[in-house]
Amino acid sequence: MVEINLANRTIKGFRRFQLMVMGILSLLIGPVSLFVTMIIHKLPFLSSISESATIANKVSPILPYCLGALALFSLTYAFKHSYDIWDRIWTGGMFTGFTAVTMQMCASSYIQADRVGLLGISKSASNIIHDAGAIIGFVCMILWILIGFRQSDRPKAQWTAQKRKRNSIYTTLGFGMLASLLLFVLKGMGLLGANFPAVFIAECLVLTCGGLACLVKSGAVLGDK
């Protein structure tokens, strides 16, 4: 019995560590990309995180490193620490989407090559894969937080006060992520102005909310005593 309890604690400890790392990575991607682009490379503010840093871009390789690590942590989480099949689908979808974003860059004037990315395809085809991956990754992350994070192996009547607070936070952050995606729609409709960085802001908000949710889920914030 002691060995079983120790094994369960070890598994939970790894699970919390992975969630904490995923949270930190999500929080860092936007600010680090902005810092590398504007401070180190002395370039103007770019339209998106993806344009600021991606494979074959002359700016910086920071996005493949950070987002690739986030994708790998999502994959290992899906197979080792997920509660159920849907939890695995959401984290597996995050791995698939973020891997696609890492492999193929978005359309950018800073990319001079005709064939780009790990697949060596045209810039237009690369942009389609990149955007599709971003949609899949972000949508799966939102569902993971709104639904998966709020689940519990205990009946609702036995939830602690901290668990109820955490669920409120997951709900707020999840809907905040959904609201952030509306910026893409408003930008597409031409309601925000040509120079308004809607994509960059939306990406940063989604990743920030997702990162905070992961930190809370890891127990680093509002953990049960």
Domain locations along the chain: 2-218
Angle at Cα 79 formed by Cα 177 and Cα 105, nearest 5°? 50
At 144-180, the pLDDT tens digits run 999 988 887 787 777 888 888 999 999 999 999 999 8
Banded pLDDT at 4 (limits 50, 70, 90):
very low
CA 138/CA 198 separation, integer angstroms: 16
Residues 162-185 as b/e (b if ≥16 CB within 10 A, e otherwise) read ebeebbebbeebbebbeebbebbe
Q: Pick 66 or 23 by higher pLDDT.
A: 23
Banded pLDDT at 6 (limits 50, 70, 90):
very low
What does the block give as tokens for 219?
């127990």
**What does residue 122 show for φ and ψ, rounded to 5 degrees?**
-65, 160
Q: Cβ-count burial of 14 within 10 angstroms (0-12 exposed, 13-18 middle, 19+ buried)?
A: middle
CA 21/CA 23 separation, integer angstroms: 5
Question: Residue 225 has what pLDDT?
Answer: 52
At 114-133, the pLDDT tens digits run 887 788 888 889 889 988 99
pTM: 0.84
Q: What is the mean pLDDT of the chain?
A: 80
